[in-house]
Amino acid sequence: MNVKKAGVIGAGTMGAQIAQAISQAGVPVVLMDIQEENVRLGLETVRKIYQSRVQKRKMKEADASQKTALVTGAMDYEGFGEMDMVIEAVFEEMDEKRKVFSALDAVCPPRTILATNTSSLSISAMASVTRRSKQVIGMHFFNPVYAMKLVEVIPGLDTSPQTVSDVVAFSERLGKTPIRVQEGPGFVVNRLLMPYLNEAALALQEGAASPKEMDEAMKAFGMPMGPFTLLDMIGIDIAEKVSLILYDAFGPRMSIAAVLSELVRAKRFGKKSGEGVYRYDGEKDERLAGILQKIRKETGIVGTQFAPERLLLLMINEAAICLQEGVATAGDLDLAMVTGTGFPQEKGGPLHYADQIGLDVVLSELQRYSAELGPRFWPAPILKRMVGAGYLGLKSKRGFFSY
């Protein structure tokens, strides 16, 4: 399908940026919100993104104003009878999203594809309130949209292959890297990233190292920023929400570190509230030590060791579990982590990295950590199977990939 006109529902953080990305590809887009002020702010965001591109000399002034004019605001569904594609980005609430999908189904022509930017909710459940579940799909963008290339493309139970290929093509037209992901909690990026971040939080509360030491170590590994800087940027409250969803789906291996919940309780949400794991007002932080002391007393777990592998092994293992479950291909799992989290490109992604370390080493390290720190490190069955068959990674010329 050649998308000639698109709509975005919800002019908040994501909606405005998605509308900007669509306009940049030359497609006229209507940015709709129920709050007049948010429509205004959304259009302002679009204008600012273009302005910054002009300032950085990435774009000519005339081109920027032409593209800015492609985005128009709306407070109702008038004009949605002409849409080829609509992307929903309202609050992360199923009832609200279902209301939107049912309204869109009534006003949009039969050809229109209805996509959702949900981070965690069931796409199939949204599709079920429409009469076009074949044309309903997940299209998960990452924040900030102008910088993040990844789009997780998530078919629901009924989504047709045609809709998938149309959305993949549309994402590519926006200059994105679309990756096809099976519908399931956390999709790929959040599912692999959260255990890594959570393990850093556990290491912190157990006194293994300071946030700064761990951030530095992961940057030395090649991550664009350390886990605590990232947690503060995402928002500890959002990270807690994602963790709870993952725990609900996968059980104890995704148990949330107490320190994250304690920080949320102390209203330390991260950068946006001026305080998270770090303080951003330049003052000395005396409260964090108190929070950590209290947790150590309650759990009795203290004095564990930190090594970058402690965090990375969980990401690798979850990637192996995803591969086992058919959530995505090995290549796409790696590409998702490189484009969606900045996993160092030269290491290729968690599965390529596992091949470099050696799958036998990954397996035995997971077993060692499992005995020491608990069953969240229990190796994915696929690892044992591969090692048993001589798939050891780079050194045996076959592992998750062949060499």
Catalytic positions, please? 140
Smallest distance, Å, CB 124 to ligand NAD? 16
| Residue 12 makes contact with ligand NAD by CB under 6 A | yes
**Residue 143 touching ligand NAD (CB under 6 A):** yes
Q: How far is the CB of 108 from ligand NAD (least distance, A)?
A: 14
Q: How far is the CB of 15 from ligand NAD (least distance, A)?
A: 6
Burial class of residue 294, CB neighbours in 10 A (0-12, 13-18, 19+): middle
301 and 206 Cβ atoms separated by less than 8 Å: yes
For residue 101, give both structure tokens. 């999908």
CB closer to ligand NAD, 116 vs 396:
116
Residue number with CB closer to ligand NAD (23 or 205): 23
Q: Find tokens 């209301």 and name the residue.
A: 99
Q: Position 352: which residue type?
A: H
Backbone angles phi, psi at 115, to 5 degrees: -115, 155
Give residue 222's region: left, alpha or beta (phi > 0; psi -120 to 50).
left
Which stretch in 11-19, 248-256, 358-366, 394-402 sits in contact with ligand NAD by CB under 6 A?
Answer: 11-19
Piece of 3-11, 165-173, 179-187, 384-392 that binds ligand NAD (CB under 6 A): 3-11
- Rounded CA-CA distance 295/77 in Å is 51
Q: Which residue is nearest to ligand NAD (CB)?
A: 12
CB of 39 to ligand NAD, least distance (A): 8
Gap between the Cα atoms of 169 and 175, Å rounded: 10
To ligand NAD, the closest distance from the beta carbon of 118 in angstroms equals 5
How far is Cα 323 from Cα 327, in angstroms, rounded to an integer? 6
Site map 360..399 versus ligand NAD, x via CB under 6 A:
----------------------------------------
Enumerate residues 68-97 that contact ligand NAD by CB under 6 A.
89-92, 96
Dist. CA 181–CA 41, nearest whole Å:
32
| Beta-sheet pairing, 136-141 with 150-155 | antiparallel
> Judged by CB under 6 A, which stretch of 53-61, 113-121, 196-204, 362-370 contacts ligand NAD?
113-121
Token pair of 356, please?
Answer: 């470099």
Residues in the site for ligand NAD, rule: CB under 6 A? 9-15, 32-35, 38, 89-92, 96, 99-100, 117-119, 141, 143
